[in-house]
Amino acid sequence: MALERLQALRGMVDLLPQQTMVWQQVEEQARQHFQRAGVGEIRTPLLEATALFARGIGEATDVVGKEMYSFRDRGQRSCTLRPEGTASVVRAAIQHGLLGQGPQRLWYMGPMFRYERPQAGRQRQFHQIGLELLAIANERSDVEAMAMAWDLLDDLGIQGLQLQINTLGTPEDRRCYREQLVGWLEQRMDQLDPDSQQRLATNPLRILDSKNQATQDLLKEAPQLLGTLGKESRGRFERVCQLLQALDIPFVIQPQLVRGLDYYTHTAFEITSDQLGAQATVCGGGRYDGLVAMLGGPPTAGMGWAMGIERLVLLLGQQSRTTAPQVVVLNRGDAAQERALVLARQLRRANLRVELDLSGATFARQFKRADRLGGRLAVIIGEQEAQAGAVKLKWLHQAPHPGSEMSRREEWTVSDRDLCRTVERLLAGEHQAEPTPV
């Protein structure tokens, strides 16, 4: 057998320069949004004790039950690559006593890991941008958080999104509803699909977002969570809806929207796109007032969301491009090559985007390449120029003058000393102020 091909592990992807351009744009936009909103960045380790996620997310969830990227380290500790950000952020907040210091607004960005079969919009290592508001319990914070997600997506120019919201009420509301639902469904066991039958025992609320059509039809008759909510929970939800309206953010109430994670209370929401294939969710989040206490901290309110950067980038389309150089330095001959290295550096230090041709090829080739790169101005250094302490300048990539036979355009000689100044002036558009030929 031939040499085994070395390649990235399944579900792990490389981002090449063409793609990182879009990523940088997304990341920069997020940073600015959070900065304007007074949200501080938090960075936590990628690797955590498995217990953090098992306790925080819930043993019955898929994320913990079958998707964790876990292994033992050399000390035989069970470690897990974080499958999501919230548990780590809360852990850090508790560990460093942030919760004693009043409300915390935190954001994060980075890779998450879930051991699943990859498909469109899903990888084993993927990236999220997330927001967490801690120790802020009122419903205005729910709306502020959702608005920040919505506006970020909007400013990125993503179209056709839908905000879906629901409420899960308090843990008591949920428990009460669960009993009702289970009781109702048990009578109709035979009408449920096999998956849902199984969930009846493990996580009955999630039967609500079953994709099985027969089950969905059956559920139309089932008791509704909204109907069993306590007065306070219902009032809270109505207030959230009202505030969203005040901010002109369109939304739809989605009673079957049940987040997969255990710690959610009250507001749950998702922002979806119909352009993403099977993985429609761009951003998901909600309130998690129970989580901090569950992880050993003081009872503390929490609200947060996470968006998947890969999915954002998919929605932004193939607008990938690289930034073309402003100047390309062509050179041939020993002395010239050395000058080129020096001058290219000088130009870069003057803040110009400069491509230095290192091929040693003929000028003809170097020009071809310079044009293909989309460069604007060529700096040409040959033996003669190197000797004279000068370079030649010539416009690249310009259409020949119509009606004239000027397929070869002029070039000017400039001394090394004047190079930066001249190049800057030319690129600034002062084509008139051409350097005087030497």
Partner RNA sequence: GCGGGCGUCGCCAAGUGGUUAAGGCAGCGGCUUGUGGCGCCGCCAUUCGGGGGUUCGAAUCCCCUCGCUCGCCCCA
Q: For residues 38-67, which are near RNA according to CB under 7 A?
A: 61-63, 67
List, in order, residues 6 or more apart from 427 with CB less than 8 Å away.
326, 327, 352, 376, 377
Between the two ends of the chain, the Cα-to-Cα distance in Å is: 65
Among 135, 165, 261, 343, the residue binding RNA under the rule CB under 7 A is: 261
Stretch that binds RNA, among 18-26, 233-241, 252-260, 339-347 (CB under 7 A): 252-260
Q: Which of 259, 266, 287, 339 binds RNA (CB under 7 A)?
A: 259
- Near RNA in 21-40, by CB under 7 A: none
Nearer to RNA, 23 or 395 (CB): 395
Three-state DSSP at 22 gives: helix
Between 238 and 383, CB nearer to RNA: 383
* The one among 163, 311, 326, 426 contacting RNA by CB under 7 A: 311
By CB under 7 A, tell whether 10 contacts RNA.
yes
Query: Which of these ranges, 30-38, 70-78, 222-230, 405-413, lies near RNA under the rule CB under 7 A?
Result: 405-413
| H/E segment holding residue 228 | helix 225-228
Tell me how far apart the alpha carbons of residues 353 and 348 are, in angstroms, rounded to a whole number.
6
CB of 51 to RNA, least distance (A): 20
Give residue for tokens 């970020």: 152
Among 310, 356, 419, 423, binds RNA (CB under 7 A): 310
User: What would the two tokens of residue 273 be?
Assistant: 């796109």
CB nearer RNA, residue 239 or residue 251: 251
How far is Cα 154 from Cα 157, in angstroms, rounded to an integer?
5
Nearer to RNA by C-beta: 18 or 359? 359
Nearest CB to RNA, comparing residues 234 and 249: 249
Report the C-alpha gap between 226 and 210 in whole angstroms: 18
Measure the CA–CA gap between 95 and 89, rounded to whole angstroms: 10
Q: Scanning residues 321 to 380, which ones bind RNA (CB under 7 A)? A: 332-333, 359, 361-365, 367-372, 378, 380
- What are the φ/ψ torsions at residue 164 (nearest 5 degrees)? -115, 130
Q: Which is nearer to RNA, 14 or 75 (CB)?
A: 14
Binding to RNA (CB under 7 A) within 157-196 occurs at: 195
**Of 9-17, 22-30, 179-187, 222-230: span binding RNA (CB under 7 A):** 9-17
* Residue-level length of the chain: 438
Q: Which of 226, 227, 225, 223 has its CA nearest to residue 187?
A: 223
105-164 positions binding RNA, by CB under 7 A: 114, 116-123, 126, 128
Size of the site for RNA (CB under 7 A): 82
Calpha distance 346→395 (Å, rounded)? 20
Token couple for 147 = 């608005």
Q: How far is the CB of 90 from RNA (least distance, A)?
A: 14
Residue 173 and residue 205: Cα distance in Å, rounded?
12
Q: How far is the CB of 249 from RNA (least distance, A)?
A: 17
Measured between alpha carbons, how far is 227 from 225 in angstroms, rounded to an integer?
5
Q: How far is the CB of 108 from RNA (least distance, A)?
A: 13
CB 116, min distance to RNA, A: 6
CB of 74 to RNA, least distance (A): 25
Cβ neighbours around 355 below 10 Å, total: 18
Residues 268-307 that bind RNA (CB under 7 A): 270, 277-284, 306-307
Q: Minimum distance between the CB of residue 377 and RNA, rounded to whole angstroms?
A: 9
| Distance between CA atoms of residues 268 and 259, nearest Å | 7
CA 135 to chain centre: 26
Q: Which single residue is written with the structure tokens 């044009």? A: 371
Q: How far is the CB of 375 from RNA (least distance, A)?
A: 7
Amino acid at residue number 314: L
In whole angstroms, the minimum distance from the beta carbon of 253 to RNA comes to 18
Binding mask 197-236 for RNA (x = CB under 7 A): --x------x--xxxx------------------------
**Part of the chain binding RNA (CB under 7 A), chosen from 150-158, 232-240, 315-323, 407-415:** 407-415
